[in-house]
Amino acid sequence: MDRDPRVAPDARAAMVARLRRNGLTDPRVLEAMRAVPRERFIPEKYADMAYADRPVPIGSGQTISAPDIVALTATALALTGRESVLEVGGGSGYAAAVLAQCASRVITIERRAHLAERARAVLGDLGYDNVEVRHADGMAGAPDAAPFGAIAVAAMADDVPAPLFAQLTPHGVLVCPVGRRDAGELVRFADGRRRRLSSVRFVPLVGGTDR
């Protein structure tokens, strides 16, 4: 795959170096961030912003999360490479690609059909055959494929939907932004404990599906 000429040749390496400076040291996550071409998951007109520490619009009022948040979430899941992972709010598919580098398989759920279709196409083109993209209501999870060793939610929830907790393995980890409207905290849930990771802004978690 040829490099996109609109992306600086050292942009991805600079992003990984920034993650290290910010204290993210999980080698599996850093290697995933180094491997995944983020520019493939965003509209071409934003390619020059692919590795900046900021979210980027992907259409329909949705964004691809800032790479630092994607890396923080993946690190908090503490993946070993053996897990089955559920992602709620698949969006562009970028975070699913990062998770797929760190886990055995990923099911990512996106409620908007055209975003799910595009994510499926890009992930397929890049060879991520361990990622399944579903157009469905993410608040219901994927009970047919449960249990999951890790669940990542990429939208702001007032409260984490109960079906997601029910689909975790006994010692599984769930990471979700929790708050009101679009602002709140990224929270890690594991073994009955709740730990705040960072202040964040996400689009709200919404049920149902949309064309």
Strands 62-64 and 148-153 come out as: unpaired
- Give catalytic status of residue 198 as yes or no: no
Phi, psi (5° rounding) for residue 200?
-145, 165
Per the CB < 8 A criterion, the answer to whether 138 and 206 are in contact is: no
Task: Please say whether the beta carbons of 102 and 82 come within 8 A.
Answer: no
Q: How far is CA 37 from the centre of its chain?
A: 14
Total residue length of the chain: 211
C-alpha count within 13 angstroms, C-beta hemisphere, residue 132: 10
Asked if 100 and 106 touch (Cβ cutoff 8 Å), the reply is yes
Active-site residue, from 60, 65, 92, 199:
65
Contact 135, 115 (CB under 8 A): no
Lookup result for tokens 């850093």: 30
As a whole number of angstroms, the distance between CA 166 and CA 171 comes to: 12
Q: Could you tell me the CA-to-CA distances from 48 to 11, 40, 56 in Å, in that order?
A: 9, 11, 11
Instruction: Please give the positions annotated as active site.
Output: 65
